[in-house]
Amino acid sequence: MTQYYQSILKYIKSRINNLETARDLTQEVFLKIEKARASNMSKSYVYTVAKNIIVDYYRKRAVPTDELSDNENVLSSYLPDDLDCRLEDCLQDYLYQIDEESARLLVESDLKGTSQKELAQSSGIEYATLRSKIQRGRKKIRSMFDEDCHLELSTTGKVIGCEYKNKKKSSC
């Protein structure tokens, strides 16, 4: 199994962007394989275990919205610490560029965690209409990110990396 150590470390590092965390997770992979007493497992099995460890890592990092105060920056709890791109600042800028109602609905729904049904009732908007407005707002924000940055997403849709398309920009 040790013949896979470097390739698994490289695989995990490419998805975590933090060397120390990648080393820890790589150790978890081999501990899990050792516990399963799987000394002669295939390379694909080792990578599957690594992928599952990465997914678990991102799940553990997710912060339930009911534990957050309104003053906490929700977005930052879902982002790796060492992203090159200042996504929080970009998102704030992009929210100001779309219409006010869409921005409010996105913040309430996606960042504060209010259910769309509750939001529709409190806003006096039909549920289907609200869903459409949120979807259009997401598409606008996504297109702005796509225009300025190349985002790397995990299998669960979380941002795990970002590169500026224009290297001279200081933010997305």
Contact 37, 76 (CB under 8 A): no
The verdict on pTM exceeding 0.85 is: no
Residues 41 and 97 in one domain: no
170: in domain: no
DSSP label at residue 76: G
Residue of 66, 90, 69, 71 whose CA lies nearest to 79 = 90
Residues 21 and 86 in one domain: no
13-49 residue pLDDT tens: 888 878 899 999 999 998 888 887 765 677 888 888 8
Residues 91 and 154 in one domain: yes
Residues 92 and 57 in one domain: no
Residues 48 and 76 in one domain: no
Residues 79 and 155 in one domain: yes
Amino acid 76: pLDDT:
45
Residues 123 and 75 in one domain: yes
64-122 residue pLDDT tens: 444 443 333 444 444 444 443 456 667 777 888 888 888 889 888 888 888 999 999 99
Residues 43 and 6 in one domain: yes
Residues 74 and 155 in one domain: yes
Residues 6+ apart with CB under 8 A from 87: 75, 79, 159, 162, 172
Residues 19 and 57 in one domain: yes
As to burial, measured by CB atoms within 10 angstroms (0-12 exposed, 13-18 middle, 19+ buried), residue 107 is: middle
Amino acid 82: pLDDT:
43
Amino acid 40: pLDDT:
64
Amino acid 167: pLDDT:
54
169: in domain: no
Higher local confidence (pLDDT), 122 or 156? 122
Secondary structure element (H or E) that encloses residue 141, with its range:
helix 127-148
Residues 96 and 132 in one domain: yes
Amino acid 69: pLDDT:
39
**Residue 26 domain boundaries:** 2-61
CATH number at residue 155: 1.10.10.10
